[in-house]
Amino acid sequence: MHGEPRDGRIVIVGASLTGLRAAEKLREEGFTGSLTLVGEEPQPPYDRPPLSKQVLLGKVPAGHTGLPQRRELDAQWKLGVRATGLDPIEKRVLLADGAEVPFDRLLIATGTRARRWPHPAEGALDGVFTLRTSDEARRLAERLDAGPRRVLVIGAGFTGSEIASACRERGLAVTVAERGPAPLVGALGGTLGALAAKLQRAHGVDLRCGVTVTALEGDGRLTGAQFSDGTRIDADIAVVALGAVRNTEWLVESGLAAGPRGVTCDAGCRAFDMYGIVTDDIFAAGDVARFPHPLFEYQLLSLEHWGNAVAQAEVAAHNMVNPGPRRRPHLTVPAFWSSQFGLNIKSVGVPTFSDQVVIAQGSLKDARLVAVYGYRGRVTAAVSVNQARSLEYYQRLIETAAPFPPAPGAADQIESPDPVPSDVPDPKLLSHGPTVALTGHLPDRRLTVVQPAR
Amino acid sequence: MNVVVDLNRCQGYAQCAFLAPEVFTMHGEESLLYHPVVPDGQLEQVRRAAVACPVQAIVMGEEAGAGAR
Ligand SMILES: Cc1cc2nc3c(=O)[nH]c(=O)nc-3n(C[C@H](O)[C@H](O)[C@H](O)COP(=O)(O)OP(=O)(O)OC[C@H]3O[C@@H](n4cnc5c(N)ncnc54)[C@H](O)[C@@H]3O)c2cc1C
Ligand code: SF4
């Protein structure tokens, strides 16, 4: 590379977890040039996982999840302003207020937003919510404080299930509607999905699977909902938890491989253009990125995981200020956690990248277990329920492509030693989108969707 | 001062909940809930908890972008 990569102008678009961690890493790696963070939200970076946990439980106010900064950033913050376009030739980011920000290198970290209720008039009813931002969490928590008679949660992925859990813990009546056969089934498959369904019902959730919400009713204010099986309920709050939409619209005319599935990049976080040619000065990381992973046959992964945002931000930042031979790949094994209905659920690997699953430790009956997932005879994922300390061991098995089913360890108490099909449904069957999407391997799907300029 | 816990790393050892119970609490057997904004009187306790965490999952620092509002 010509010139000194530790100097010049770096712009980061998206000032949340990924943007912040990348900015810190850039300075740590000795970047001395000008650093600008552009963020649509008016708040400085805050943490989202507490929004569906501590905040909805009323233990922490929504405005109190600000992220700590690990070092001095010496950055220019442009908050409360949206990037509306990217000119890759002139190398500038266009902002909604008409300003232009020139860059030498750019990091795209615009994440995702909550998918809205598809019917706008119904979605505008007072009492209908989504949960992605701190503001949304504050408004929802306030309404839960007011003691609604019934909360309807639409979609039983992780976010929907955590919301339902928080409502039950507050003693509120909750109905959960999921188009798929069970909660969490899109992320964890049939065996743990069945456990999740049992747990929700044991905690008093009115869980309805295999149905969709066909209408939200009300006149200004939400009063109830109708289901595809012909039934209806009264509800004064509905939380739409139908998954996330990637914030890539601002890149429509940029010529990058950016579309509804995210911004495609290489294992070093360099963005591809729409012809699949890698750019050298535009990088992507976090929830908005889509990248190949060697552990999963180089399929393109899009992950909506906190840990991925942190790890990928650091790889992107390192690669932005280091010349070719010193660049690093993003090879972190995917991992996430969730806390719901009194249980700590943790995952490593990609459970949906599987054909079989076995309960390798503990039991479904006690809701304390490790489920290990395999694909064509090798270990590809493990999920623990209240058994987090065992997970590291299985992570090693994933990293080394160890044979599946795993050999039982000395301490293992195996309830059902025989693997069963992992029963991962087609994501089309779910209400909510998958939080882990393996894309690019199905011949009937195009690698990227290039939207025509309007 | 703010904290964030890397809950992928956290193994629920609960040392933090013993050392700074006003900031860190166990929720159920294994889940950790915490207050991201550390109350002034709790700084020393939280610092000790961050040092004691066996997997170094607790990150402390000034609130990011505080000067940017
Ligand atoms: C309620 C909730 C609970 C969660 N719980 C967990 C959990 O338990 N475990 C786990 O692993 N993960 C969890 N996550 C996921 C985790 O929070 C995300 O993976 C993480 O926030 C991704 O960070 P990011 O910076 O890449 O994207 P985001 O956090 O989505 O941030 C993107 C930022 O870019 C901004 N932006 C978008 N478009 C533009 C534009 N055009 N111009 C300027 N700015 C723009 C947005 O306003 C936003 O601030 C949860 C998420 C939510 C919402
Ligand atoms: S001390 Fe560390 S590992 Fe233990 S609960 Fe606290 S953060 Fe988690």
Question: Is residue A444 predicted with pLDDT exceeding 50?
Answer: no
Q: How many residues appear in chain A?
A: 454
Who contacts A123 (Cβ-Cβ below 8 Å, separation ≥6)?
Answer: A116, A117, A216, A240
Specify the pLDDT at position A435. 67
Query: For the residues A44-55, what does the mean pLDDT come to?
Result: 98
User: Which A residues in the span 418-447 are in contact with B, Cβ-Cβ below 8 Å?
Assistant: none
CA of A113 to the centre of ligand 1 (A): 7
Check CB contact of A231 with chain B, cutoff 8 Å.
no
A334 in Cβ contact with A436 (< 8 Å): yes
* pLDDT tens column, A336-388: 999 999 999 999 999 999 999 999 999 999 999 999 999 999 999 999 999 99
CA separation (Å) from A291 to A273, A438, A451? 13, 10, 20
- Please name the residue whose Cα sits nearest to atom 22 of ligand 1: A287
Structure tokens at A264: 């495609």
pTM of the model: 0.94
> Could you tell me which chain B residue has the CA closest to the CA of A64?
B37
Whether A67 sits inside 8 A of B63 (CB atoms) is: yes
Contact of B23 with B3, CB cutoff 8 Å: yes
Q: Around A273, how many Cα atoms within 13 Å sit in the side-chain half-sphere?
A: 13
Unique residue bearing structure tokens 């000065």: A281
Task: Judge contact between A381 and A341, C-beta under 8 A.
Answer: no
Domains, chain B, ranges and CATH?
2-64 (3.30.70.20)
Q: What is the pLDDT of residues A173-230, one digit of tens each?
A: 999 999 999 999 999 999 999 999 999 999 999 999 999 999 999 999 999 999 999 9
Pair of tokens at residue A33: 């040039």
**Cα gap A316→A454, rounded to integer Å:** 31
Burial A137-162 (b: 16+ CB within 10 A, else e): beebbebbeeebebbbbbbbbbbbbb
Query: How would DSSP label each residue in A261-313?
Result: TEEEB-TT-EEEBTTSPEEEEEEE-GGGEEEEEGGGTTEEEEE--HHHHHHHH
> Looking at residue A413, what is its pLDDT?
58
Q: Which residue, among A59, A303, A316, has the nearest Cα to A169 in the 3D structure?
A: A59
